[in-house]
Amino acid sequence: MKLRLKIWRQKNAEAKGAFASYDLDGVSPDMSFLEMLDLLNSRLVSESKEPVAFDHDCREGICGSCGMYINGYPHGPVPGLTTCHLSMRYFRDGETITIEPWRAKPFPVIRDLIVDRSAMDKIQVAGGFISVTAGAAPEANSNLVRKHSSDLAFDSAICIGCGACVAACKNASAMLFVSARVSQYALLPQGRPEAKERVRAMVEEMDRQGFGNCSNTGACEAQCPKQIRLFNIARLNREYYKSY
């Protein structure tokens, strides 16, 4: 495949960025999107040009670091996939692909496609844990949890903190992320003793970091690579009201 790539290039947070165009041939439909960027970078390096900086770690859809807009969609146009799981077979030979970093005030650009997502880590540190003694594995097994609740808790716990929900939202809201974290604990008996303190601390930190309110458009759910559901936000709101 031969592609034209329009990629946001920006030296650092203070520098003014701009799109640069690159023609890349030899792309296999079997490559992942990140492998396609690797190919571009090896060409740029061989031409003594600066490679494109992008974030990645696991390349298995787990770490949440590989987020970027691809043709305007966070993580690309295919639902339920992270950028590292996105295959080049979803693109056409000769296509122009536009690639940008997350655009949200709480996520300043560090370089090219890399943004600083530490604002989400701060929300996690504020309350995304349990500090009660939960016991060893046998005690967990004797602590009965309804199947429905454990399934919902697990579905929330698979949030990878990638920030696509924030990037998709016109208010840069982090409520889908926070609601997944709050739900993961609120649904289990081990999470209940600290439920009030947790939800207040996480919501306060979310506001302090500059994330906006829920826009009720559902863009976050549509773009979440782990398909975290909107009803978690309703649970977040209920937990918050109950905490006062």
- Residue numbers of the site for ligand FES (CB under 6 A)? 56-59, 61-66, 82-84, 160
Find the binder of ligand SF4 among 182, 228, 233, 236 (CB under 6 A). 228
Window contacting ligand SF4 (CB under 6 A); options: 33-41, 54-62, 136-144, 220-228: 220-228
- The two tokens of residue 21 are 């165009």
Please choose, from the candidates 45, 46, 27, 24, the residue with its C-alpha nearest in 3D space to the C-alpha of residue 35.
27
114 DSSP 8-state letter: E
Window contacting ligand SF4 (CB under 6 A); options: 83-91, 123-131, 154-162, 204-212: 154-162
For residue 224, the partner it binds in ligand FES, ligand SF4, none, with Cβ less than 5 to 8 A by kind, is ligand SF4
Size of residue set near ligand SF4 by CB under 6 A: 14
Q: How far is the CB of 74 from ligand FES (least distance, A)?
A: 12
Q: How far is the CB of 195 from ligand SF4 (least distance, A)?
A: 20
119 binds ligand SF4 (CB under 6 A): no
102 binds ligand SF4 (CB under 6 A): no
Which ranges of the chain does DSSP label H, i.e. alpha helix? 33-46, 118-127, 137-142, 147-157, 164-168, 175-186, 195-208, 219-223, 231-242
Please choose, from the candidates 34, 27, 33, the residue with its C-alpha nearest in 3D space to the C-alpha of residue 87.
33
Measured CA to CA, the distance from residue 95 to residue 148 in angstroms comes to 44
Bridge partners (DSSP) listed for residue 100: 69
Find the binder of ligand SF4 among 76, 101, 106, 161 (CB under 6 A). 161
Find the binder of ligand SF4 among 69, 177, 185, 211 (CB under 6 A). 177
Please choose, from the candidates 163, 188, 195, 167, the residue with its C-alpha nearest in 3D space to the C-alpha of residue 177.
163
Instruction: Point out which residues bind ligand SF4 (CB under 6 A).
Output: 159-165, 176-177, 180, 224-226, 228
